Amino acid sequence: MSENIRISEIFGPTIQGEGALIGRPTVFVRTGGCDYRCSWCDTLHAVDSEYRDEWTAMSAKDIMSKVEDLSGGKPLTITLSGGNPAIQPFDTLIQLGHEKGYEFAMETQGSVSKDWFSKLDVLILSPKPPSSGMDTDWIDFYQCLKKAGFEKSNGPDILLKFVIFDKEDYLYAKDASSRYPYLPVFLQPGNHQVDGDADQEGLMQKMRWLIDLTVKDQWYEVTILPQLHVMIWGNEKGV
């Protein structure tokens, strides 16, 4: 029998608001629990243990049933999110979803590696920059790549994504991406105001700053994107 998965919320269909799959229709399966405590976290309801009573232990079968209900039974991309979804046992859910024609994308900071990473369709590795207050263990990060099967070229599409708040974050992203020059890189300005109304103009200013900086440095291999969901819905949860 497969293990239960701690679920914070399941919602959609909506669109992916950031990263390589931006704009793609998806259902989010957001798990509860995380091994990080980023200073600017915008999903504390799925991270902090004070919310654990709001999380629900669900079987893979029940999660898949909920996703099918939301999507009208029509396959689409299922986004595994969190918290850190890597700490949950997703083997069976991925198998059930693939049998029904669904695809799976997951974003994680690269601190926890699991064998089932190789079964994903898309793996977005998003190591946290200095502004988060967290440190990156590059050995653990490399283990995530190995578990995803990048050495065998038979695993998921693997992408790097960095949230940028300041120049130090930008330099961190440049250094991190130089470690893995074969992985596509996506940058996005960080949402500096996660409570109340989003600072849309501030985010656009940061976007322009980030564009100017990459052009000045001739860092032409990156893709720079906004947080589309913040532009559309602000800081509203569950969209």
Asked whether residue 10 is assigned to any structural domain, the reply reads yes
Q: Is 231 exposed, middle or buried (0-12, 13-18, 19+ CB in 10 A)?
A: middle
pLDDT tens-digit readout, 102-160: 999 999 999 999 999 999 999 999 999 999 999 999 999 999 999 999 877 778 999 99
Asked if residues 140 and 113 have their Cβ atoms less than 8 Å apart, the reply is yes
pLDDT tens-digit readout, 180-229: 999 999 999 987 655 566 677 778 888 999 999 999 999 999 999 987 76
Q: Domain count of the chain?
A: 1
Which ranges of 108-166 would DSSP assign to H, the alpha helix? 138-147
Report the range of poorest mean pLDDT among 131-135, 168-172, 224-228, 234-238: 234-238
Maximum average pLDDT range among 16-20, 43-47, 177-181: 177-181
CATH number, domain of 119, equals 3.20.20.70
3-state secondary structure of 235: coil
The mean per-residue pLDDT over the stretch 156-165 comes to 95
What local confidence, expressed as pLDDT, does residue 234 receive?
A: 57
14 - beta bridge partners?
26
Asked whether residue 239 is assigned to any structural domain, the reply reads no
Asked whether residue 126 is assigned to any structural domain, the reply reads yes
Task: Please state, in angstroms and rounded to a whole number, the distance separating the CA atoms of residues 203 and 146.
Answer: 35
> In this structure, what DSSP letter does residue 20 have?
G
Asked whether residue 156 is assigned to any structural domain, the reply reads yes
Nearest CA-CA partner of 110 in 86, 83, 77: 86
Asked whether residue 197 is assigned to any structural domain, the reply reads yes
Q: Is the peptide bond before 13 cis (omega within 30 degrees of 0)?
A: yes
**Domain housing 72:** 5-233
Asked if residues 193 and 170 have their Cβ atoms less than 8 Å apart, the reply is no
Mean pLDDT of the chain: 90
What local confidence, expressed as pLDDT, does residue 20 receive?
A: 87
What local confidence, expressed as pLDDT, does residue 1 receive?
A: 47
What local confidence, expressed as pLDDT, does residue 168 receive?
A: 97
Q: How far apart are the first and last CA of the chain?
A: 32
pTM: 0.91
Task: Please state, in angstroms and rounded to a whole number, the distance separating the CA atoms of residues 129 and 37.
Answer: 12
The mean per-residue pLDDT over the stretch 76-97 comes to 96
